[in-house]
Every structure is written in structure tokens, then in C-alpha cells.
Structure 1
Amino acid sequence: MKRVFYVLFVLMSWLPMVGQGAEPAGSPTDGVPGEPAELRIANRTIFTFHATLLGESPAARAQRAQAVIEEALRGTDDLKVSVDRILNSQMVLLGGRRAFIVAPLDLELAGGDTRETAEQAAAALRQVVEETGESRSVRFLLKALGFSALATLIYVALFKGANLGRRKLRGLLPKMMRSHASQIRVGQLPLFDMQYVYYVIDRLLWLVYWIVAFLLSYQWLSFVLSQFPYTRPWGESLNVHLLDLLRYLLQGVLHAIPGIAVAVLIFFIARGVSNFSRRMLERMARPGTIKWLTEETLQPTTRLTSLAIWLFALVMAYPYLPGSGTEAFKGLSVLLGLMISLGASSVVGQAAAGLILTYSRTLKAGEYVRVGDNEGTVTEVGMFNTTIRTGLGEVLTLPNSMITGSVTRNYSRVVQGQGYIVDTVVTIGYDTPWRQVEAMLVEAAKRTDGILSNPRPQVFQTGLSDFYPEYRLVAQAVPSEPRPRAELLSLLHANIQDVFNEYGVQIMSPHYLGDPQQEKWVPAEKWYTAPARAPDERDAGQR
């Protein structure tokens, strides 16, 4: 028998001589790679054939080897597995019979050493022989069942113990949170809302519980499968997969540590530079140092400087972040950039308008302004919009781009000290002396609570129309007066009407078309016609 194999291998040895002038002595298909065929016995992989040998395809070689091995395993003889070298190939023997041949052509296509590969295949075959004997042993199977039952009891006990531990911790959690809630405070204000903290910790306990349950189930299944010969490869593969996963995660963490350390160092440096720049800007904002850097522009300048420093630090630290070189990370970066470029054009415009308002100092919080048809006190100048509170119970939010594109009247910028300007326009006929009109307007301003007498209210003749002159009264309001400007103007207009009625002067506003037969003014005895009541009557009614 062995001589026959020698003759066959002499023929096989001629195959490598193809292309060197020698005629091959086998099939014309010898050495041609075919579809790889796996030799699998008792649920365990023994070897994978890659080349056609002596006219047999890899699938035929695997089928022939499987038939020989299964026939040998069905016997009761003690099967010995060995490897015998024949010329440049290795033959795996099972009980003195040829099981299969590991030829150089298989290794040339798959890669590896012939002898080493044959020894590995023989070791796998020995394990199959051993497991076949175990599967026929009633004692071994009973022992495997006993170990599996014991493992199941331990698994159930650990599973219930994990569940009990989670419930115990969940029951102790409110008490622990109440005992430590008073310690986590900023002054008298609790730093965290205990309701949300309880929810987060409860979710974390739930997550840890299910991770432990998954690991217990995984190890129990792997152990039980490893006890029986046929399912042992599955149990071993489960262990291998888990170990490979842990090894992969550990290697990823170890490889990421240097990059993370560099990124953290960059962020600490950026934090120090940001704090230094903030202190430097605070010193430069002192009066007389830099004109454009004032108390109003200090905060946005500090924020912009800090933003630029942190963006630069992020760009520097980006290559050192874990996963920054992966295609997923690059794709996400491109997606975010595309979203920002498509959707942030108006946002950038609003932010630029906010910077223009801040550094041009067109308006600031506390000033009374008029933007287009909107008038009120500025409460906040933000990056994207400005908030104005009117005297009519309204709060207006104006986009900064609208303010920069409109004419802004600031009634608080030119006053002496704090406060704001109030003004109004009346038109009186040419038959009324202008000196009398100016005196009446000043008198009405003096009667209005909330208007300063110093500086003195002024009257300007702003136009000489076809039928009447135009008079503008300009005065300064008291800054400490809580009355809104709209209410103050309403009171001023009421006093102007009273003064002009006292002196019998007709107000020609809004349009003059001709002299009426009777002058349009209200005598004092008709000021409180029902349902209006005099001030003394209102006070008596309230009492």
C-alpha cells in the first residue's frame, strides 16, 4: 500500500516542473485553484482544501477524506493519528490508513508551511477521535450533564442575586440621596435636581444589571456547550469571540491613551491661555487704554477671544482623538460641515449684525430708542437679536440685521447724566404769538411729573407751513422715575391740552383746512364733563 502512495507522489512531484520543460504526469487540471472545500467532522473543522490534485477537485478531496474518517470512526479500534512525509507532501494517517494529503499546492494557494499545517490538521483530527470516544461513553455524558446542571443552578442563583442587589440599591437610593442632597449646594441653592438625579442613577443601575445578566448568560451558555463533544466547538467559539472582543477593546483603549493624553494637554493649555487673555482684556478695558474696548464691549470681546482659542485647540487636538481617522468620523465631519454651510447663512448674518451693534455702540441696555416704528427701552443686546420693552406692556424682539438696516433714534445718548429725551410736536395758527406758544409748552412740561426742570425744556420751531408753524417741545425725563415713556408722553399731551384750553388757544393739529366759525378749544368749566371726574372727586370716591 505504501509503495502505491510513493508512486502517486512521484507523479505529483512532477507538477512543480511545469514551465521548466518537463511534461506533467497528472490531469491537465492539476494545480488549478478551485472552490475551497472545508473538511468538517463532528462539527469541527479539520482542514481546508484549495487545489485540484490528481484530477480531484477540492470538494471531491474533502468528500473522499470525510468518508474515510467517518468509516474509521465507526469502528471500535484504537485510532492513532500520525503525519508521514512523502516527497514534498504530508500525508495524515488515521489508524494506519490515509485520511487525506496536505499538498504544497494547497499551501501555495492558501499560504503556510506544509509540515506545520499537516500537524495542525492532525491535532484537530486527534481531538475529533477523542471526542467521538467521549460521545460513546455514558459515564462521560452523565458527568457532562451533572456539570451542566450545577452550572445552571449557579447561573440562576447569580442571576437572582444580581436582581436582588439591584432592588436593594434602588431601595437605598432615595435615602442616600436625601442624606447627601444638603451637601451638594451652591450657597443655599441645590446644585442638582434630585428627581432627575434619581432617574439617571436608576437608569444606570438598570444598564449595569442587564450587562451583568448578559455576561452571566453568555458564560453559562459557553460552559454548557463545552461539556458535550458535538457542541464543544460552539462553546469554544463563544469564548474565543468574547476574548477577542475584550482584547480588541483593551487594545483600542491602550492605543488611544497617548492620543487622549495629548488632547487633554492641549485643552488644559487652551484653558490657561483663555484665562490669561480674559485677565489681559480686563486690564486693557480700563478707561484711557483702548477706545473701542469699553465696559460694554469687554464681555463679547472676551467671548470671541475664548471661542477662537478653543476652536484652535479643537483643531489641534482633532488628529489625536480616538477614531478621528476612520471613514465614519470623516463622513460625520463632512455632513456637519454641509449642514452648517447650508443652514447657518442667516445665523452668521445675525451674529455679524450683533457684533456691529456691540462695537459701534449704537445702543445698549437701559437706553430708550426708536427703531423704525418700534420704540421702547433696550433690555438686552444679544448676539442674534435685541429685546426692547415698550411702555404699552409689550416686549419686542428685533433681529439685529433689521436694526443695522434701519434708522435708530437714541433718546438716552445725548442727555445730561442718566435718563432719556421726550419730545412732541404741535401746530398752532399764525394768529397766536409764538412767544405765547413756547411759554405754554414749557408750562405744560413743568406740570408733568417725571420731566426735569434742569436742563430746562426747550421749544423749537421746526417748520413754517402754509397754514401754521410747527413747534417741537424737547425735555429730559427723570431717570429714576418708574413711569414708562409712553405713559409720560400721554401725561405730557394731557397737560398741553389743559394749558392751551386755559388760555383759549386752538391747536391746529393734525391738518388745518380753514378757520371755523367758533374756535375749537375747551373752557375749564367743561374739563370734567361726565363721566370724567375732578381729582378731588376721584380721591373722595376712593376714600
Structure 2
Amino acid sequence: MSILGYIRYAPLRAVAFASLSATLGSPLTAQQDSVQADTTAAGAPARTYVVFRGDTLFQLHGTLGPFVPAERARAVERRVRLIAEDPLLTADRIVVSDTLGAVDIRLDTLVIMTVTERDAAEAGLGRQELADQYAERIRVAVRSRHGAASLRTILVGAGLTLLTLLALVIVLLLLNRSFPILYRFIQRGQGRWIRSIRLQRLVLLSAAQATHFLLFAARVGRIVAIGSVIYLFLPAVFSFFPWTRGMGRTLFTWTLTPVTRGWTAFVNYLPNLFTIAVLVVVFYYLLKFIRFLFTGLETGTVTLRGFHRDWATPTYKIVRFLVIVFAAVVVFPYLPGSQTPAFRGISIFLGVLVSFGSSAAIANVVAGTVMTYMRPFQLGDRVKIADTEGDVIEKTLLVTRVRTPKHVEVTIPNAMVLASHIINYSAAAAEGGVILHTTVTIGYDAPWRQVQELLLSAADKTDGLLSTPTPFVLQTALNDFYVSYQLNAYTDNPSEMAGLYSAMHANIQDAFQQAGVQIMSPNYVADTEKPKIPPAFQTAPHPKA
């Protein structure tokens, strides 16, 4: 059946006729058409008869361009058969036209044949008159074919439609019986072969949720299956009748075109997919080698001069990040759609978004990286960062966490840490001890040598302070009414500074009260005769640091 039968409207058929005319006007392929030819003595065809369904329509003489009479006859027979088999193409639309000296028989834009001077001379008629006769014979042949085929076409189409409908009903019954069985099978599988999906102790998807998801997928599959069967049924039925074949072809095209394009795109993408797979394998083993190297640096089996072992883990993370970024840059051109304007636009948008939205985070990462190689402190060190004092409990590329003596965890961005002054008490303690110092003010009436002895004795009685290096006292100021004395003592346990200060202050009070020396800063002219000490002094046990 002709493809013109699939086109319902006349304007679209005109376009199709033009395409077919161009195709059929090209060098013709050999077909088993009914062509009767007479030959001259030299063997060249002199004339050929055009035969359609056993009836001789007319004869052709001579050549037309490069085509001999036999080729002309086959082309005419093919075009007549094409028109006759399409019930939408009526015989009344076959006309004779004289265009630029060529007398053509055509249907709309499709040229069925051209009447030559040789044809007219052999028939003893004019070209126009002969063309009118040939056109009428073609009309009669087409009408005869349409009349004979209409009833038969309808009956055959109806029979095939009934068979297809029966097949549709059987398939739908099978689907309606099969899917309930599948539903029950999924429900019975809960807790047996459908189990929870866990990540260690975290339940990502419980067995009940997985069962509900599978049931939902099965229901969606049922709808898709029924819809697909009905969708295939409609174009099949449409193809049984010449008046609806165009609709059937359109429905098939809507489905097959995306599938064909997708499959073609997948096949064309296979070389890029293979390249991506090779690159992934190469970078995967490169990362494993880098991990092996830095593990050796961390454990000490591999050494580099000037490279500290605590640098191994952060350096590995930086190198791994750079390798992954480089791998992404190398793989990116091989991704599907990477060269499209939409993909590039999204990439630029994400880049701008990251640039403006993560400037603070990037500053913290840079600061964390710098501090990694500066080594201002280590985990567990007692430090003072700006106004925060405590023990370092965590270091990351973004933040540093400090636990204060009050057991309060303070999170400090690394950019702020890098911009602030840092005091590391633990580093000083490891190099000879940290000096704890406290100041008392005593009046001029107390001998300074006695005051120094009392302060040093208080330091000796404080547990946790080092005897070597020995404590010492400095007179830091001679004020108007009193002298400032500063006691300095060493400790190798800076984490207990708060307790050491408390014990040292208690021992200072005990020592001065036992000696009858007043701890006061007089700002008056007259003093009382009674000393400013507790009336009944009792030695209390020294608090432990």
C-alpha cells in the first residue's frame, strides 16, 4: 500500500506527491511489472505497452531523456498502481497539463507520465488529444480498482480488527491476573528476602518501607503495561484501513522515534563511555597509591626530611582533593551533553553560586591549611586564642574546637584563629615549664625580705609547682602607699593552671597570716593599732592543685 494513503489532508499529500515524483523520476529500479515490448531488427525496443492488472492501457514509443520505453512503462505502471491502491486519491483529480511545451498527465503535483512527440506521431494524433485519451484510460483503471477494493478492504480490516481485539482482551486478562499474584509475592517477602537497608546502625530504608516502594513500583508497572498494550492496539487497528493508516503510522512514530534516537545516541556514546571507564580506573589506583604513600609517612615507614608525621593526613586530603578535581576536569568533556549550551550555563551558574556563597568557607579552609603547616598547636594542647583559653579537642580545615576549664566547648573559625594571637602553654611547658605568676601588694611597714620569704615558702608548699627552676619574686612597682610583689613559679602541667593558682593563693594567705603580715594596700594616712588579720588564726589544710 502506498505511503500516500497515510496522509489524510490534500496539502500534505501534495508535498508527498512532490517527493514521490522526484523519486520516481530518478533512474528506475527493475521490478517485475507487466511490460510488453516490440523490438526492431537491431534489438532495441521500439514500443512498449503499459499493462495494469492484466489490462493494456496504452503503448509508449521512443525514449524520454535517458529512459527507454520499457523503463517509462514500468514507471507509469508503478504510479498508476500507487494511485489505485490509495482510496483517498480519487480518479477525478487526474488531469492533463501543458507546462513549458511538455504535455503531462498528473495528479496534483505527481507527474504520472509525459506524452512525447514520438508517442503522438505513432498514434496519428496531437499530443494534447493523445494525452486526454491516456488520462481517461488511467481514470477508468483507477475507478475500477477502487470499486473492487473498497468492500474487500473493509471486510478484511474488520476481520483483522476483531482478531486484534480478541488478542487485546486476552492480554489484559493475563495482566489483571498476573499483577495481583506479584503483589502477594512482594507482601510475603517482607522480612524474608526484603530486608532493611542499613549503614552501620543507621536504618536507611526499613523492610516495611522497601515493601511499600516495591508495591508502588509494581502498581506503576501495571498501569504502564496496560497503557502500552492499548497504545499498540490502536495503531494496529488503524493500519487495517487505508483511511486511518496515517494515524497509525503517526502513533508508531511518536513511540519509535524517541527510542531510536535514544539507542543511536547510546551507541554513539559507547566510545566516550569506555574512555570514562579507563580514566576512572586509572585515577582510582592513583589515589590508592597516594594513600599508601602518605600512610607510610604517617607511620614512619617512609620519611622525608623536614616533613613532620602529623602533616601526613592533612596533606593526603589536600592531594586527594586536587587529584579528584583534576580527574573531574579530564572526564568532563566526555560526559553526555557537556558541550551543550544548557550544560555550560548550569556549570557557570554553579561556579558563580559557589564563589559568592562560600567565600567565608574558602577563607577558613585556606587558614586551616596554613595552620596545618605552621603547627601552632596540637590536639590536647592548652592554648589561649584571643580571649578563649582551654584545651584543643579538634582541628579541621574549617574550625578549631577548644574546651575551656569550665567544660564549655568553643568553636572558632580558622580564619579568626589565624588572625588572632595564639598562646600555647603546652609547648612552653615541654621546653622547661610555664611560669605562673600572681601579684600581692604589701605596705611599706613590712620588710621586703620577709615578704619575699613568705611568698617563696607559699610556692614551696603548693603541689604541682616545680622546685627546679626555682620560684622567684619580683618587686614590680613602688606605689604611693604599698609595694607590688610578684611571685613567679614554674609548672609542667598547664592544664591544671586554675587549680594551681587557687592553691598558691591559699598558701600565700596562710603564710602571711601566720607571720602576722597584713595583706592590704593602705590608701589612708592613719592606721589602726590592731593588725588586719583573722582574730583566731587556724592553719587550714592546703588545697590540692
Once residues 527 and 50 of structure 1 are traced to their aligned partners in structure 2, the CA distance between those partners, rounded to angstroms, is: 123
Determine if the alignment matches structure 1 residue 385 to structure 2 residue 399.
yes
- In structure 1, how many angstroms separate the alpha carbons of the residues matched to 2:317 and 2:244? 65
Distance 1:201 1:422 in 2: 68
List per-residue Cα deviations over 1:452-477 (Å, max 9, x = no partner).
54645633527224242241433325
The equivalent position to 1:464 in structure 2, one of 463, 477, 489, is 477
Offset, 1:155: 2.1
1:171 corresponds to 2:188: yes
**Paired residue for 1:267?**
280
RCO comparison, higher one (Cα < 8 Å, 6+): 2
Rounded to whole Å, the distance in 1 between the matches of 2:265 and 2:144 is 37
Give the alignment of 1:361-372 within 5 angstroms. Answer: 361-372=375-386
Greater shift, 228-237 or 409-418, is seen at 228-237
CA RMSD after TM alignment: 4.7
Q: How does 1:228-307 map to 2 (within 5 A)?
A: 228=238, 229=241, 233-283=246-296, 286=300, 289-290=303-304, 292-307=306-321
Per the TM alignment, residue 301 of structure 1 is displaced from its structure 2 partner at its CA by 0.8
Residue of structure 2 aligned with 1:144, choices 148, 151, 161: 161
Partner of 1:308: 322
Residue 505 (structure 1) shift: 3.5
Give matches, 1:7-46, under 5 Å.
Answer: 40-41=7-8, 46=13
- The 3 A distance-change label for structure 1 pair 279 and 272 is same
Shift of 1:141: 3.2
Inter-partner Cα distance in structure 2 for 1:373 and 1:152: 82
Corresponding residue SS for 2:336: coil
1:98, distance to aligned residue in structure 2 (A): 5.1
Find the residue that maps to 2:430 and give its secondary structure. coil
Q: How big is each residue's C-alpha offset from its partner over 1:231-253, in whole Å with a ceiling of 9 and x where there is no partner? A: 55444433333222222222222
C-alpha deviation, 1:413, in angstroms: 0.1
Q: Is residue 391–residue 485 contact of structure 1 (8 Å, CA) maintained in 2?
A: no
Work out the number of aligned pairs and report it: 435
Query: With structure 1 as the length reference, what TM-score do the two structures score?
Result: 0.65
Residues 360-407 of structure 1, C-alpha deviation per residue, up to 9 Å, x if partnerless? 111121000111211000111111111000011210001111111111
Which residue does the alignment assign to 1:493? 505
Task: Name structure 1 gaps, 5 residues minimum.
Answer: 1-37, 52-77, 106-112, 117-124, 529-533, 536-543
| Rg (Cα) greater in structure | 2
Q: Deviations over 1:151-176 (max 9, x none)?
A: 13422531552354144224303222
The within-5 A match list for 1:6-405 is 40-41=7-8, 46-48=13-15, 93-94=83-84, 97=91, 99=93, 133=151, 136-137=154-155, 140-141=157-158, 144-145=161-162, 147-177=164-194, 190=200, 193=203, 195-196=205-206, 199=209, 202-203=212-213, 206-207=216-217, 209-211=219-221, 213-228=223-238, 229=241, 233-283=246-296, 286=300, 289-290=303-304, 292-405=306-419
Distance 1:314 1:140, change over 3 A: closer
Q: 1:41 to 1:352 in 2, by over 3 A?
A: closer
Secondary structure in 1 aligned to 2:193?
Answer: helix
| CA distance in structure 1 between the partners assigned to 2:533 and 2:275 by the alignment | 84
Bigger drift between 284-293 and 370-379 goes to 284-293
- Matched residues, percent identical? 23
> Could you tell me which residue of structure 2 aligns to residue 425 of structure 1?
438
Contact 2:272 2:334 in 1 (8 A): yes
SS of the residue corresponding to residue 410 of structure 2 reads strand
Q: CA deviation at 1:478?
A: 4.2
How far is 1:144 from its partner? 1.9
Q: 2:424 aligns with which of 392, 395, 410?
A: 410
- Paired residue secondary structure (2:429): coil
